[in-house]
Amino acid sequence: MIELLQTYATESSAAASASDGIFAGVSTGGSMVLMIVIAIVGYVVQARLQSVFTKYSKVLSPGGMTGAELAERMLHDHGIYNVKVTHVKGHLTDHFNPATMTVNLSDSVYSSRSVAAAAVACHECGHAVQHAVGYAPIKLRSQLVPIVNFSSQLATWVILIGIAIMAATSSAVVCWIGIGLVAMSAVFSIVTLPVEYNASDRALEWLQRSGTLQGSEIEGARVSLRWAARTYLVAALSAIATILYYISIINSRRD
């Protein structure tokens, strides 16, 4: 992406002309409204996720196994013995770490025997299975992590410097480089979507096939994971809206 933007910098006059046509309809006010709407949707989705998790945290799984025990069982059923199930503090801070080969389960999941805990624990194991089988999107996401960490630290500063340069010289090249850095976060969010949905599908398939959850319990797990996945969808939309917002700022400064 950076190399492409550097090439673009050498052709700034042509790119500037093209951007006028492509982004002419993007207004600062409109993009701000879009960001506010997405923020509200994100709040609603997060609140609904908390509500669903609380509901199914009160429903015990039929087998009475804890989230940690189910995680170990799912891993072993998939022939995975090099991943350790550990406990981390917090609420819904669960994650799989491919660097340390650990499935990290939060306070509300690790020792819980609920349907919600079973769903979350097995979802994280779904990521471990993805890693074990070489699932392409999770490999791509792992490769993007250092790039996104770097770009996210620089993006805002580059855009601010670019706006200052544009005010003095009318050149928007540095601004577009900054937007390119912001775009990396959007790419990461988009790549994350199939990773999360696929991990949930793997979790639900195993929970049902193994007989761990059935009937209303498996439906409760499905609902919990679907609302969790929607938080990633909102994050992706928010990242795209942020790009449009910065584009609108550049266009307004150039008018």
Residues with a catalytic annotation lie at 124
- List C-alpha distances in Å: 222 to 24, 47, 53, 133, 153: 42, 17, 11, 23, 36
Angstrom distance (rounded) from CA 245 to CA 123 = 34
Is residue 56 within 8 A of residue 119, CB to CB? The reply is yes
Is residue 220 within 8 A of residue 199, CB to CB? The reply is no
Helix, strand, coil share (%) of the chain residues, nearest 5:
75, 5, 20
Burial of 118 (0-12, 13-18, 19+ CB in 10 A): buried
Which of 189, 192, 188, 166 has its CA nearest to residue 177? 166
User: Which residues on neighbouring strands pair with residue 156, listed in sequence order?
Assistant: none
List the 95-97 sheet strands across, edge first. Answer: 84-87, 102-105, 95-97
Angstrom distance (rounded) from CA 255 to CA 248 = 11
Angstrom distance (rounded) from CA 177 to CA 117 = 43
Beta strands (DSSP E) in 4-92 are: 84-87
Angstrom distance (rounded) from CA 19 to CA 5 = 14
